[in-house]
Copies of this chain bind each other. A is one copy, B any other.
Amino acid sequence: MSKLINNKDLSFLLYDVFNANNLSDIPAYADHDQTTYDSVIKTAQRIAEDYFANHNSKADEHEPQFDGEKVSTIPEVKEAWKHFSESGLLNARHSYDDGGMQLPALINSACCGLFTSANPGTAGYPFLTSAAANVIQAFGSDEQKAKYLPGMFNGRFSGTMALTEPDVGSSLGDLTTKAIPQEDGSYKLKGQKMYISGGDQDITENIVHLVLARVEGANKGVKGISLFITPKFLVNDDGSLAERNDVKLAGLLHKMGYRGTTSTVLSFGEEDNCTGYLIGEEGKGLGYMFKMMNEARIGVGLGAAMIGYRGYLESLDYAKNRPQGRKPSSKDSSSKPLNIVEHADVKRMLLAQKSYVEGSLALCLFASRLVDEHEAGGHADSGILLDLLTPIVKSFPSSYGLKANDYAIQVLGGAGYIREYPVEQCYRDNRLNPIHEGTYGIQSLDLLGRKLWMKNSQGLQLLMERVQNTLKQAKDLASLAPQIKRYQQKLNVFSQVVMQLGQSLQSGKVDETLANSALFLDMMGKMVVAWLWIEMASVAQQKLGDSSNQEDQDFVAGKVQACRYFIEWELGEIEHQAELLKSLDSTCADMQENWF
């Protein structure tokens, strides 16, 4: 087992659960097979282990510095960037014509996950660059593509997305950065952006900021927002750098975790000379950004899952090698202490972690497979299902990956709390994930206020079909019978809740129905992940159940037990949540400011 992931589990998820092999039915992926996939993953794992994991802790202890002129990062980050960009991974998802590998999202996610497990801070730079390049690829003009993409694909340029402003936060419709049209078709930007990850650094020659701004005189609200390419250095037609643009680093922000990625306050146009280039049409900026944002949200979920996974493996390793204490029933104080993995409460914390992180990873890989089916395969249904699930894919791992890290610390005890061991950093790093790319609360409003009802709830129907299919496939497996029964019972509870909330929204009780949206997000997340656990446990038994290999037997037993845990312990909580949701419980909404 690597420190980054259980490779047997990854392989199982990719090939047994999510059938990566049949992706080659999609024409764009026709050239690929398991050999090419495994080889890309192996390369990613090697680079992640050699050039990312090596400075995860160092980059945390030596965060980027700003001397008022220049940002400096430790040399290992540049080295990691170099190896990442040379590997072709920055461009892996793109077409052969664009110099890419036409790699499926599913396999690309597996690769990305390895980097986050190794070093989420440093992995931030290439991930943001890929995301920004995707937007230019999808919505930029041919000229823009020719000018910026080669540098973003070969590692000369990095990318950012600059949405948030100091006074605005999540409420993007209120943003105030201005864009003033110029005679040559470009714009002059003016405004301040905050929490911009990778907004400045000393790793790449240039930084391509994608900036949301409002063209002078445009509508208020989200419909007045446009998107601009705003490079740190202007770029000549041949790709070489021209003069410095008027984008200034106002300062670095100092995060609790993810310290390796700079978090910046950027001033655009302090000297009224910040040039930006409109992407696509005016007023459509938020739509373009959301295309990128939806992928970024899968990325956040995946990152949270993998930081959770890393902590799980660390704490498992510790528990297997740390002798301490005896069974409660033991009276013999001279007997040999047990390794703590033998204690029931430690098993509980490890099993909870396993169920959260393997479940979260499965969820994110499933979403990535849906991206492939929809974007490359043209299956509209997969796109609809993905839309529905995106808030959950972003939020469940952010919430439960962090819980996993909390347990990892607790398994290590005192050692878990000190920086001499790696798990406290996982916990600090992972705390970002319920916040960025749309907070937990924002995701819950998106799910319960919009996604669940879009296209006559077709997404939910598609999900239910998949669920029923899994239950049908698993129905003859005796070891899963109690869990399947339990799941079906909870499914009824869940369906009632959805129906009731839908009626209540239709009757116009919008604020009342959405007041407890966070509770619903958690509940539905558990339903979805519990389904994936049944799927995993059932596939494991069907594919490996007859294996005479002990390792396979252990693997199957582990999947079955984690499925049992997730359904008995975690899913069991939804009855109470359902009660609160169905009654439109107003305890929180009724609270008044002056009563606090």
In the complex where A170-B413, A344-B514, A410-B434 touch, is A580 in contact with B572 (Cβ < 8 A)? yes
A350 to B592, CA, bound (A): 11
Q: Contact check: which of B171, B173, B516, B564 meets A344 at CB < 8 Å?
A: B516
A346 to B442, CA, bound (A): 11
Q: Contact check: which of B414, B416, B568 meets A164 at CB < 8 Å?
A: B414
In the complex where A511-B327, A518-B345 touch, is A334 in contact with B220 (Cβ < 8 A)? yes
CB closest chain-B residue, reference A436: B414
A592 to B328, CA, bound (A): 18
In the complex where A254-B419, A514-B328 touch, is A413 in contact with B439 (Cβ < 8 A)? yes
Residues B418 and A253 in contact, CB atoms below 8 Å apart: yes
Q: Contact check: which of B326, B348, B432, B587 meets A564 at CB < 8 Å?
A: B587
Q: With an 8 A cutoff between CB atoms, is A2 at the interface?
A: no
A420 to B558, CA, bound (A): 43
Which of A168, A406, A435, A573 counts the most chain B CB atoms within 10 A?
Answer: A435
> How many residues of chain A have a CB within 8 Å of chain B?
101
Residues A591 and B347 in contact, CB atoms below 8 Å apart: yes
Number of identical monomers bound together in the oligomeric complex: 2
Q: With an 8 A cutoff between CB atoms, is A255 at the interface?
A: yes
In the complex where A342-B593, A518-B348 touch, is A254 in contact with B511 (Cβ < 8 A)? no
Q: How far is the CB of A587 from chain B (nearest CB, A)?
A: 5
Residues A569 and B595 in contact, CB atoms below 8 Å apart: no
Q: With an 8 A cutoff between CB atoms, is A237 at the interface?
A: no
In the complex where A347-B588, A347-B591 touch, is A316 in contact with B596 (Cβ < 8 A)? yes
A542-590 residues with Cβ-Cβ distance < 8 A to B are: 554-555, 557-558, 561, 564-565, 568-569, 572-573, 575-576, 579-580, 585, 587-590
A333-354 residues with Cβ-Cβ distance < 8 A to B are: 333-334, 337, 339, 341-348, 350-351, 354
Residues B417 and A431 in contact, CB atoms below 8 Å apart: yes
Residues A416 and B435 in contact, CB atoms below 8 Å apart: yes
Q: Contact check: which of B169, B435, B572, B579 meets A579 at CB < 8 Å?
A: B572
A473 to B339, CA, bound (A): 50
Residues B341 and A593 in contact, CB atoms below 8 Å apart: yes
- In the complex, what residues of B have CB within 8 A of residue A436's CB? 414
- In the complex, what residues of B have CB within 8 A of residue A514's CB? 328, 344
Residues B588 and A565 in contact, CB atoms below 8 Å apart: yes
Residues A168 and B324 in contact, CB atoms below 8 Å apart: yes
Q: Contact check: which of B171, B588, B595 meets A337 at CB < 8 Å?
A: B171
